[in-house]
């Protein structure tokens, strides 16, 4: 297992190289560059060219990539063109917001989603199952940003309970921070809870009908013991897979959620970076996010093989 983890970590480097190449290629296909953004829409060609040379954007693309990559090898992500700080610092400032938001929504999601899913499976075809699954269906059917707009309408405009946007750092006020993240976290969690409940129920039902569970049941084990001992252990497999997916979904959803609720997170950093053609910021933050996802995926795979002995990594 350790050897496998180590191999995967080594294997992550080509992935990250691929990611940076992909990101680098992608952002340079996007029309317009940072020089033009800085020089402004009514700048002359000479002005744009002057800014371009200041930023080093007039060098050939491969050279730019090599410069960027060799800096990366020294763990230097470079300076933002616009933010007046290093990319590493910008990421370090933004990351806690996205991390807290994701964590907050995961903390809401996992217990609620798992319990709802297990309950629905356990009460298969009974009213609790129907009610829970109907709610879950509605939950996965609502557009997250639409739900967010409606939530702002209800909780901020009508009731005035929670702020409509903005972020209070944890260091300034714990309560304030939680208040500023509650609406976005709930808006994100609704979809995730529904997703997790559905997946949990589906797998639990599958497991409950598998041979060894039926054998256990036939042997006269109490239903609750059957569910607890056999089903639950197996249910962890999809749960782990789903959590991996959920972190992806949460980071994705964060792009929209951070926009609506004006949270200075990594999603905003990327979107603003694209909008300003701030290449070092886009590359750096995409790489950071990618690194995080690679680690999450690796952990998921490791847990997966730990939980399911049939999947061997040797």
Partner 1 sequence: MLDMTRRNMLQRASAGLAAGALGVPSGLMAQTPQPKKGGNASVAMSAATETVDPHFSRSQVARNVLMHMCETLVTIDERGSPQLQLAEKLDISPDSRVFTFALRKGVPFHNGKEMTADDAKRSLERYARVSPERSRLANVDRMTTPDRHTLIVELKSSTPSWIELIKSPASPMTIIPSEECDKEANKVLPISTGPYSFVDWDGVTRLRGKRFADYAPNKAYAGRDGYGGARTAYFDEIAFAVVAEASARVAGLQSGQFDILDELPVQAADRLGKDSQFKIYDQKTRGINVVPVNVQKSPTDKILVRRAIQIALDDEEIMGIATEGAFSLNPSFVYKDSEFYPANASDLVYNRKDQARAKALLAEAGYKDEELVILTSGDIPSLREVAVVMSEQLKAVGMKVRLDVMDWPGANARRNDPTTHNLFSTAYAIQPLLGPFQYQRLVSGAGNWSFYKEDEDMETAWRRLLAATSAADQKKAWQDIETRLNSQVYQLKMGDRSVKQAAKASIQNFKPYDGVRLWDIWKA
Partner 2 sequence: MTDAATTIGDAHAAADHRSAWRSMRRLLSHKGLMIGAVVIALVALLALAGPLLFTGDPLKLSYRTRFRPPSSEFWFGTDHYGRDIFLRITHGAHLSLLIGVMVVLITGVGGTLIGAVSGYFQRLDAYFMRVMDALMAFPSLMLAIGIAAALGSGVVNVVIALSIAYLPRTARVVRASVMSLRHSEYVEAARVLGASHGRILFRHILPNSMAPLIIDLTFIFAYAVLADAALSFLGVGPPPPTPSWGNIIAEGRDYVVDAPWITIFPGLAISLTVLGLNLFGDGLRDVLDPRLNTM
Cα–Cα distance for residue pair 298/251, rounded to 1 Å: 17
* CB-based contact 190:253 (threshold 8 Å): no
Shortest distance (Å) from residue 38 CB to partner 2:
18
Question: Does 272 engage in binding with partner 1 (CB under 8 A)?
Answer: yes
Residue choice 249, 263, 282, 292 for contact with partner 1 (CB under 8 A): 263
**CA angle, residues 41, 46, 47, in degrees to nearest 5:** 50
Cα–Cα nearest to 55, from 72, 32, 80: 80
Three-class DSSP category at 86? strand
Classify the C-alpha dihedral 37-38-39-41 as positive or negative: positive
3-state SS, residue 85: coil
Among the listed residues 7, 19, 3, 5, the one whose alpha carbon sits nearest the alpha carbon of residue 292: 19
Residues 192-251 that bind partner 2 (CB under 8 A): 195, 198-199, 202, 205-206, 209-210, 241, 245, 248-249, 251
Which of 68, 81, 104, 191 contacts partner 1 by CB under 8 A? Answer: 81
The smaller minimum CB distance to partner 2, of residues 43 and 202, is found at 202
Among 205, 216, 255, 274, binds partner 1 (CB under 8 A): 274
The residues pairing with 79 across neighbouring beta strands, listed in sequence order, are 86
Nearest residue to 33 (alpha-carbon basis) of 8, 59, 54, 52: 52
43 sits near partner 1 (criterion: CB under 8 A): yes
Residue 141 contact, options partner 1, partner 2, none, Cβ 5-8 Å cut-off depending on partner type: partner 2
Cα 179 from Cα 163, distance rounded (Å): 7
The answer to whether the CB of 56 falls within 8 A of the CB of 64 is yes
**Binding string to partner 1 for residues 91 to 130, with x set by CB under 8 A, is what?**
--xx------------------------------------
CB of 50 to partner 2, least distance (A): 25
Choose, by CB under 8 A, the member of 61, 92, 138, 228 that binds partner 2.
138
Given 23, 27, 38, 116, the residue binding partner 1 (CB under 8 A): 38
Residues that bind partner 1 (CB under 8 A): 30-33, 36-47, 50-51, 54, 80-85, 90, 93-94, 149, 152-153, 156-157, 160, 163-167, 259-264, 268-269, 272, 274-277
């Amino acid at each position: 297992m350790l050897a496998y983890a180590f191999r995967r970590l080594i294997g992550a480097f080509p992935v990250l190289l691929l990611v940076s190449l992909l990101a680098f290629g992608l952002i340079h296909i996007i029309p317009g560059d940072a020089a033009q953004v800085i020089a402004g829409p009514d700048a002359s060609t000479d002005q744009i060219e002057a800014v371009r040379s200041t930023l080093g954007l007039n060098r050939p693309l491969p050279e730019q990539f090599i410069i960027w990559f060799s800096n990366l090898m020294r763990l230097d992500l470079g300076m933002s063109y616009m933010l007046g700080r290093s990319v590493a610092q910008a990421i370090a400032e933004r990351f806690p917001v996205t991390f807290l938001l994701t964590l907050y929504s995961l903390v809401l999601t996992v217990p609620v989603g798992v319990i709802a899913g297990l309950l629905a499976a356990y009460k298969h075809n009974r009213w609790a199952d129907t009610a829970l699954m109907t709610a879950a269906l509605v939950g996965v059917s609502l557009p997250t940003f639409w739900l967010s707009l409606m939530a702002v309408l209800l909780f901020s405009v009508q009731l005035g309970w929670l702020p409509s946007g903005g972020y209070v750092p944890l260091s300034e006020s714990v309560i304030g921070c939680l208040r500023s993240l509650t609406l976005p976290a709930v808006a994100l969690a609704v979809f995730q809870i529904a997703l997790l409940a559905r997946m949990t129920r589906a797998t639990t039902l599958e497991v409950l009908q598998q041979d060894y569970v039926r054998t256990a049941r036939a042997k006269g084990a109490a239903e609750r013991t059957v569910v607890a001992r056999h089903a639950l252990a197996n249910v962890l497999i999809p749960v782990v897979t789903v959590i991996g997916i959920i972190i992806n979904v949460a980071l994705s959803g964060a792009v929209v959620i951070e926009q609506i609720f004006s949270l200075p997170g990594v999603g905003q950093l990327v979107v603003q970076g694209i909008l300003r053609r701030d290449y070092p910021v886009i590359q750096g933050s995409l790489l950071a996010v990618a690194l995080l996802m690679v680690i999450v995926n690796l952990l998921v795979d490791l847990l997966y093989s730990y939980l399911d002995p049939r999947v061997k990594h040797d």
